Amino acid sequence: MLVLVTYDVSFDSENGKRRLRQIAKICQDYGIRVQYSVFECDVDPAQWIKFKQQLFNVYDKEVDSLRFYKLGKNGQKKIEHHGAKPSFDLFKDVIIL
């Protein structure tokens, strides 16, 4: 099933940049980065449980936000993209919130 993962990681708290990199790295193991903090992940139910747990182990639930959108089996049909494709470097570009 296709799951969209979006996240905001706060830099107000300590280790924000590290958490951001770790979250992006975990998502990269399960899917494709389509925007800076947006990943499209095609996972089976068992992978999904493992994937979520890895994210929960890293993110700071007080200040970070994780959102999951279950797009289902033919999720690709529900997606429209306009404009530039991602070309940023995962670890180079930093977001300051």
84: helix, strand or coil:
coil
Residue 46 engages its own copies in binding (rule: CB under 8 A): no
Residue 61 engages its own copies in binding (rule: CB under 8 A): yes
83: left (phi over 0), alpha (psi -120 to 50) or beta: left
Q: Give the nearer residue to its own copies in terms of CB position, either 46 or 88.
A: 88
Each residue of 54-82: b (16+ CB within 10 Å) or e?
bbeebbeeeebebeeeebeeebeeeeeee
DSSP state of 85: P
Q: Give the nearer residue to its own copies in terms of CB position, either 12 or 46.
A: 12
Least distance CB 85 / its own copies (angstroms):
7
Residue 15 engages its own copies in binding (rule: CB under 8 A): no
Instruction: Give the per-residue contact string, 77-96, with its own copies (x = CB under 8 A; - = no).
Output: -xxxxxxxxx-x----xxxx
DSSP state of 62: T
Residues that bind its own copies (CB under 8 A): 4, 6-8, 10, 34-38, 56, 59-72, 78-86, 88, 93-97
